[in-house]
Chain A
Amino acid sequence: MKNPVEVESSAPASATPGLPLLGSWKAVYLFVLGSFVLWVALLIGLTNMFS
């Protein structure tokens, strides 16, 4: 089975996200994952600091 991402990358309409500083979908996904990890880390920090 081919990876759906490979299928999608061939479609011109979704080839690039077209966002400043985030030139590829991989960068967008990493940004999303990074922001998730950051939020969880901040919440853990908040819990440890004030509990």
Chain B
Amino acid sequence: MSALDFVVLIGSMLGIAIYGIWRTRGRRDLSAYLKGGHTPWFAIGLSVMATQASAVTFLSTPGQGYLAGLAFVQVYFGVPLALLIVAIFFLPVFRRLKVFTAYEFLGRRFDTKTRLLGAGLFLLQRGLGAGLTIYAPAIVLTSVFGWPLNLTIICSGVLVIIYTVAGGNDAVTVTQKYQLAIIFAGMITAFCLLVAKLPAGLTCSDTLTLAGGFQKLNAVNFSTDPRERYTIWSGILGGTFLMLSYFGTDQSQVQRYLSGESVREDRLGLMFNAVCKIPMQFCILLLGVLMFVFYQFEPAPLFFNPITSQALATQGHGGNLRAYEKDFAAAHTQTRQQLDNWLAARHRGDQAAAGEAFAAAAASRQQGEKIRLTANQALSAETSATTANDADYVFITFILRQLPHGVIGLLVAAFFAATFSSKAAELNALSSSTTVDIYRHLIRQDATDDTCVTASKWFTAGWGLLAIGFALCAHLAENLIQAVNILGSIFYGVMLGLFVVAFFLRRVGGTAVFWAALAAQTLVFILFFGAAVSRYWHDFFGGACPGGRLLLETAAISYLWYPLIGCAACVLFSLFLQAVSRSGKRNQEVFATDGHNLLH
């Protein structure tokens, strides 16, 4: 990065943080500090969007597009449906009860232990997620730029803590608007420059045909195999449950849309996201697909992750690496030549020659991928280096090698802006839940607003430091964007189940739903860790136990189904426990009076 890039990066990040602190100085009222207020719907919409879209979204998603095409867009098919349900059913109840956190509602509908369970699941899941939010972009950016990883995590984490502590919810909303502006400016600039860098003779139709020919435009998959990660069914069914859990029960989002002046503002902010989310993710994935097309005509590295190459060189495998790189470059040159032939034949209308040339290009590209795979297997068998997360480095490598100075600074600023915006919202939500659900509810029930604001600031700082500590110790095996979604999927289903029972099953009481939620969470844990457990089970019992095979196959299902399974299990277990509970009749009577008043 040049001096100009650093000026753009540091100037924009510090400027936004200082502006957020200045705009929200002197907030001592608890409601204003935790909820904000009078935020217009458009700002709420941007805030909801900025909270969900962390740096991982912008760093890792183009890599997903490059590697696997548009299929990942199916994850977001659940967003519009989930947001409609939240806007119609959840929002009015939260609003009318004037709750600070979603878990306050559980306490009023059920009892303290259920409220604490909901808050506890949120704090556990989001506390881990906050570490991931700050670690994930730092690991990519530092490995590319050579910055010290720990220093990058600490500096970016501390800056977010400072302005979030100072201004609370309003500081988050105010800064998110400008952070999102930088993100969009950066991504649109990158998109335009990428399109401009495609070969001169390549038309829009050629580009799409080429990408489609390499299976990069398979946006919708109708397969009914539950082990396939991204299908239209897992997207609509599993994705709806995942997103409903996220938007309806995760305080980091609930707090965003409850900051409006009225239900109208909150609801329109949600609807804005319901309309914009799929096209936004499509465009980010399309950026990855266009990078794939670009790298068919330009030399692509064997590994995008520079750490892999450096590790191999320092461990004495530089010779092997160079041999693989030479073979890979030869296969790439052949692909490029065949694609030039394909383009020429296509433009002169010779379909037969075009078909032959494309088949040859596909074969030589497959040869290149084989070399990459062989290199990966051979080198990782001999060294500790791995290319497992190579997709995360595709976009940042393109930025550094292909874009001009100034734009590089803008895009790195966009990644940091995305980190700050989602991180600040997470810290704010963690602090709100700790203050309202634990501190004021259990520890100091007589605390004044002033005391609670002070406590909330300490909790924000505490959670921020914890997230930094987690980030300093983290290690990731999964692709970043998938790791974030997998972590959410493990906890969200049961959290959603608690709220579904609260809203729609008026006869179920607190004790039944509490134990049902614990049982359902255990079930999801078993499914998640089931791959290892089931392998052991199957090896131990072998063919003598048909259950072993069943468990092995069940454990292989896509993570997108976890929220649905967790939610369904929580609801079914609640109904069962309530039915067999001796106190069922009493709970029904209690809710017949209290619960009726609560929901109506």
Contacts and interface: CB of A to CB of B under 8 A. Distances in A.
Interface in A8-40: 8, 11, 13-14, 16-19, 25, 28-29, 31-33, 35-36, 39-40
Given A13-B263, A43-B282, A29 B599 contact: no
A19 B264 CA distance: 11
Interface stretch (B211-219, B251-259, B330-338, B374-382): B211-219
Nearest to B262: A13
Interface string A38-50: 0110011011011
Nearest to A37: B80
Interface in B60-89: 70, 73, 77, 80-81, 83-84, 87-89
B70 A7 contact: no
Given A1-B599, A4-B92, A51 B215 contact: yes
Nearest to A16: B264
Given A36-B81, A51-B217, A7 B600 contact: yes
A36 B274 contact: yes
Q: Interface size bucket, B side?
A: 35 or more
Contacts of A36: 77, 80-81, 274, 278
Instruction: Name the prevailing secondary structure of the B interface residues.
Output: helix
B209 interface: yes
Contact of A5 (B77, B92, B217): B92
B217 A8 contact: no
A4 B88 contact: yes
A17 to B, nearest CB: 6
Contacts of A29: 84, 87-88, 271
Contacts of B268: 17, 19, 28
A46 B217 CA distance: 7
Contacts of A46: 70, 217, 219
A40 B220 contact: yes
Given A43-B282, A50-B217, A51-B215, A7 B96 contact: yes
Given A14-B263, A14-B264, A36-B80, A43 B219 contact: yes
Given A2-B600, A7-B92, A35-B275, A47 B263 contact: no
A1 B207 CA distance: 55
Contact of B263 (A8, A31, A33, A50): A8
A17 B263 CA distance: 10
A47 B220 contact: yes
Contacts of B88: 4-5, 29
A41 B83 CA distance: 20
B438 interface: no
A4 B599 CA distance: 8
Contacts of A8: 92, 263
Contact of A47 (B219, B596, B599): B219
Nearest to B76: A39
A47 B218 CA distance: 5
A46 B221 CA distance: 12
Closest 4 CB pairs of A and B: A50-B212, A13-B262, A14-B263, A43-B219
14 contacts: A1-B599, A7-B96, A13-B262, A18-B264, A19-B268, A28-B267, A32-B84, A32-B274, A35-B80, A43-B73, A43-B220, A47-B219, A50-B217, A51-B218
